Amino acid sequence: MSPRKAGGSSRQTVYDSLRRRILGLELAPGTALSENDLAAEMGVSRTPVRESMILLSEEGLVQVFPKVGTFVSRVDAARVADAQFLREAVELAALDDVPASPPEEIVAALRENLERQQVPGIDREEFFRLDEEFHHHLLSLSGHGNSWSAVASAKGHLDRARRLGLYDAASPKPFIDQHADVLSAVLSGDTEAARSTLRGHLRAVFEDVERIRRRSPELFAADPDAVPVRRSVAVWSN
């Protein structure tokens, strides 16, 4: 559905679409963005595209360089660490508030989610969606489900790093096993084991960042203030 036909404002629709494409790596780190091309592709005027770029630049997902162009920002390891710190603090703290008899409907949703993760040959994007849902349900188990939106809005760079790690992994099975271990510990009332496993699970992204950065440094911001150099095409300098 085009932004003109979709519900809500064109700016919100364009912003949501561009953000989803950036986080999903469809628009890879370092990709040059053209307001004219995006407006034509999405069937809108340049205004909602320009306004969306401003919002995305405020999140650090897009960088605008006068006289050079607009680009999808490269993954910033410092922003990944900041988002990871926030996410870990919220999710681990929530485990302390899981009641002795957690809501049965949320427990059932977590178990069903885990079963769907274990489908052989699961698509990586489907697993990523289920992973997000699993962690949201974990927060809901403690009565803090509404805090997920605040966490989700802050983790754009983190989500791109997580996707890079997921697509680089041979299989999502290690992540699935960690989910199962966390859920088992939570439901058995072993909060300390749940915290330890969840902490390790969430911090695995740091190893992914270092591994992928060694092989594909162009995806990461060696210098957050680096400016692309315009030659026949714009290229990044570190």
Has domain 77-215 been given CATH number 1.20.120.530?
yes
Q: What percent of the chain has pLDDT over 70?
A: 90
66 falls in which pLDDT band (50, 70, 90)? confident
Class of the 10-74+221-235 domain? mainly alpha
Q: Where are the domains of the chain?
A: 10-74+221-235, 77-215
CB 27 within 8 A of CB 21: yes
Strand pairing class (234-235; 229-230)? antiparallel
Whole-structure pTM value: 0.85
pLDDT tens digits for range 97-150: 999 999 999 999 999 999 999 999 999 999 999 999 999 999 999 999 999 999
pLDDT tens digits for range 178-218: 999 999 999 999 999 999 999 999 999 999 999 999 999 99
Residue in the block written with tokens 């629709």: 13
Q: What is the DSSP letter of 216?
A: -
Interatomic CA distance for residues 58 and 86, integer angstroms: 18
